Structure 1
């Protein structure tokens, strides 16, 4: 688990988050970039200029900024991630209102899962915004929910770097996840944090996405897990339905 360093330089952190968003979501205007990262428009303009200089971004004819040559190596589904985020956010807000804990949407990116949107709950003690962060898929709840849906050859590629005992334990866990339909991360990525995750059913143009609810472990009793899982499953189905409707509008 990688924690934010206490010595983090704000401008560097903002630039890296901005580069990640360009790779995940594709082209955006300066004002949109500023709003997404939580910085001023002038700061966003300077950071984007630096990213262009270093080939992490490029300015398009319509004056938006898109991912540059560096980020296009192994970029994840840009258009579908942007659509996923836009559609998922209202559903995440309703999920947070219902459960009182932080909710996330994330996508599979190689051996990792990357968070593309977070809605925080308003409790003083809460799990914070994970947008732009990456975690090992075999440890995160949403990641394990997605691994459970992979074809055998795809899963084998993920398991290959793991130690034999870790791989065997994960395979047992994935069998349980397939049976019950949700995954649990009990402090595997961060001490004191428990999360429940489900995969979002594949829709046209969007696959390999998941939802999770994360909370301080002290508030995560065993009887709450099925309640969270049921709410996540309903939300995931609603998001998939809306994604399908967007891809194939009526009429």
Structure 2
């Protein structure tokens, strides 16, 4: 049966429509230049540039060193959301609630896309002074607890390629010091957990452990975040142990 014709909304907003069309083109067709987008939409290059800049700001697109634009973290996650991120989030939510209740701190589940990570689920602590929900937010992978956990699983050549200098021609300040990062990742592998003291946000401490799929691949990071004023170094082994217990339970659910 043919689908019924969809009439446009009575108060269509051209800029929104154009942004959605660009997002669709990037997802279905691959990288595009500003002039290609402008020609397809029938708008000026300056208009296409502003639309693309907003998509980049909201992580729907990424600007490459060759000045083309490709899909960003949001669309990359959406491409396999039913098979990966969405099901992982659904399985993790009960465990995040349990973790937040056990430690009375905010709990998070995070996945990696390229050199960024996205918080796919977050449960806030009930304390008045707490770290707020990070759900949906994107951060540089090397600056987050879960990002360190996920980067620690990469072979040396893949880590080198991910942070190759030519990928940061347009934003050299965003490229991490690779020697320092390698040392951090070696520490994560040795300890089995990651500790982040103000690395991504001042005044916030986070501790996390990896979550593995049935095939052994690390697919996410499970973490708790708290105000630095409440963090006590002596609690670190207990925090890591509790996180590992909850992560083990989540992994059993993923296996089932």
Task: State the TM bucket, normalised to the shorter chain.
Answer: 0.5 to 0.7
> What residue number does 1:217 align with?
228
1:6-57 CA distance string (max 9 Å, x none): xxxxxxxxxxxxxxxxxxxxxxxxxxxxxxxxxxxxxxx99xx989834648
- 1:75-114 matched pairs, under 5 angstroms: 75-76=76-77, 77-79=80-82, 80-114=84-118
Question: What stretches of structure 1 move > 6 A for 4+ residues in a row?
Answer: 49-52, 162-165
Unaligned runs of 5+ in 1: 1-44, 58-66, 246-251
Q: CA–CA distance in 1 between the matches of 2:119 and 2:151? A: 16
Q: Return the TM-score normalized by structure 2.
A: 0.67
**8 Å contact 1:106–1:113 — kept in the other structure?**
yes
Unaligned stretches of 5+ residues in structure 2: 1-8, 29-70, 166-171
Give the 3 Å change call, closer, same or farther, for CA 83–69 of structure 1 in structure 2.
farther
**Could you state the TM-score of these two structures normalised by the residue count of structure 1?**
0.68
Matched residue SS, 2:233? coil
Matched residue pairs, number?
A: 192
Are the counterparts in 1 of residues 205 and 231 from structure 2 also a CA contact under 8 Å?
yes
Q: Could you say which structure has the larger radius of gyration?
A: 2
Question: In the alignment, what sits opposite 1:239?
Answer: 250
What RMSD over aligned residues (CA atoms) do the two structures have, in Å?
A: 3.1
Aligned-pair distance for 1:207?
A: 4.8
Which of the numbers 114, 123, 130 marks the counterpart of 1:126?
A: 130
SS in structure 2 of the partner of residue 115 of structure 1: strand
In the alignment, the residues of structure 2 paired with residue 165 and residue 239 of structure 1 have an alpha-carbon distance, to the nearest angstrom, of 31
More displaced stretch, 161-170 vs 82-91: 161-170
Q: Cα offset for 1:189?
A: 1.1
**d(CA) in 2 for partners of 1:226, 1:202:** 24
Q: Does 1:157 align with 2:156?
A: no
Following superposition, the deviation at residue 204 of structure 1 comes to 5.8
